[in-house]
Chains A and B, each alone.
Chain A
């Protein structure tokens, strides 16, 4: 049996339905925010991502929350984006993260600087996500991008993103194949709400040997659902789901039920797990999982 460094990969390999969560670092140095989210997610998730300044909005970095949550017993999935660091900084950060005990890393492109609250910043994008994946694979194999040997290679599993709803989907699938060729071992997807989209991605990736955890974020309101459908690339909200939200007498209850149903559908379709981005509903994640019946 292959050796796994992380609980996340062990869980996937054990064929257990694997649930990863996500921690949103605060805009500030308030470690209590991290501790609170960790306490809420720890009983339900095998590991949780820590985002890397999504949209290019300045918040606490990725590594500090990763360390805090691992000290508290929740395994981290360290997100690294190409937006703010060149190949020197990215590799250096990976080495440091490994020395601090990180076992999973998610290699991402990162949102462009013009999307965030510091649009004047110089975007880096020295590498793209395929090249970053290859660079991390090199480090894990014991050498940096210049071919220099490392004094103790990082022991990490490399994850990548997949956007199941993009149109046209073919270039996304080709890029996904390249990420796997470059050394990716697991994938998490952008938010998906439509089982048709999930079925399509299963079909399009059936030739690929990689666990894919579809991403979901609870739809907390009609406004959020409409916003996501309008603004988030590749996201479609099925009409029935929107109707359920519109007609809801108890929105929180409806949100939990819709999310639970999605989790159940994802398992029924045969995915090895799910990636839950709680977007503030960390306290309800346990109930969503319970109602889904996946455990």
Chain B
């Protein structure tokens, strides 16, 4: 799922400068499921506005919708409310914010920084990036562990010399993706896969913005 991080209140105040009526819209898609931008978080954000010396003067309306990356849902749910507002503060990922922005004539502003496609580990209450949407999945070759995402250098042929006690040179708490892959392939009896040279990735598949027929 898409993982986000809410912007600091000062940054939101700066982007909303001069706006009097703001429609805060939660998204119950990915960010709602992870309790980062759903109905409750939208209400909490409106409460935070009341505590801020600048934003307390803003008149807020709060709602949330099924998902903001679907234009028909956005238009059906928000058209009437948007007509009453100066701006929309969209609590979705970057894709959702853009759908809201192109749906109405008033500005739609992001409440979040979009972080990554990831998973949540319940025990540590931490989100971890797991996919960079490279457009050419090789998980069948790497024991279900993505080196493109989980190796900071996106290496394709094994660990680099920065490996230290199974961890990565960029962060002593980060597992080396290639040691995870090595251990997994060994356990699966597929270590031979590691012996085949993997060709350079085709980044033409990642030329953005991408599109694909539904």
Contacts and interface: CB of A to CB of B under 8 A. Distances in A.
Interface stretch (A6-14, A33-41, A58-66, A120-128): A120-128
Interface in A121-148: 123, 125-131, 134-135, 145
A18 B62 CA distance: 74
A115 B170 contact: yes
B197 A182 contact: yes
B169 A175 contact: no
B202 to A, nearest CB: 11
A174 B165 CA distance: 18
Given A115-B169, A130-B157, A174 B195 contact: yes
Interface in B160-201: 160-166, 169-170, 178-179, 182, 194-195, 197-200
A127 B159 contact: no
B200 A127 contact: yes
A271 to B, nearest CB: 19
Contact of B158 (A112, A127, A171, A234): A171
Interface string A140-164: 0000010000000000000001010
B161 A166 contact: yes
B20 interface: no
A290 to B, nearest CB: 31
Contact of B160 (A109, A135, A168): A109
Given A115-B169, A168-B179, A170-B182, A128 B153 contact: yes
A287 to B, nearest CB: 29
A265 interface: no
Q: Which one of B153, B160, B197 has the greatest number of beta carbons of chain A within 10 Å? A: B160
Interface in B139-171: 152-166, 169-170
A127 B194 CA distance: 17
B161 A123 contact: no
B201 to A, nearest CB: 8
A203 interface: no
Interface string A83-114: 10001000000000000000000000101101
Interface residues of A, number: 36
A78 B189 CA distance: 39
Contacts of B165: 167
Given A170-B182, A177-B195, A163 B161 contact: yes
A233 B108 CA distance: 48
A130 B160 CA distance: 10
A171 B169 contact: no
A79 interface: no
Contacts of B203: 126
A145 B194 CA distance: 23
B197 A181 contact: yes
Given A114-B170, A129-B160, A130-B158, A87 B200 contact: yes
Interface in A154-201: 161, 163, 166-168, 170-172, 174-175, 177-178, 181-182, 190
A178 B179 CA distance: 17
Nearest to A167: B165
A172 B164 CA distance: 12
A263 interface: no
B200 A178 contact: no
A82 interface: yes
A125 B194 contact: no
A270 B192 CA distance: 30
Given A166-B163, A170-B182, A233-B162, A82 B197 contact: no
Interface of B: 152-166, 169-170, 178-179, 182, 194-195, 197-200, 203
Given A114-B152, A125-B153, A130-B197, 7 more contacts: A87-B200, A123-B153, A128-B156, A130-B156, A168-B182, A171-B158, A171-B182
9 contacts: A83-B153, A109-B155, A128-B156, A129-B157, A131-B156, A131-B198, A163-B163, A171-B178, A234-B163
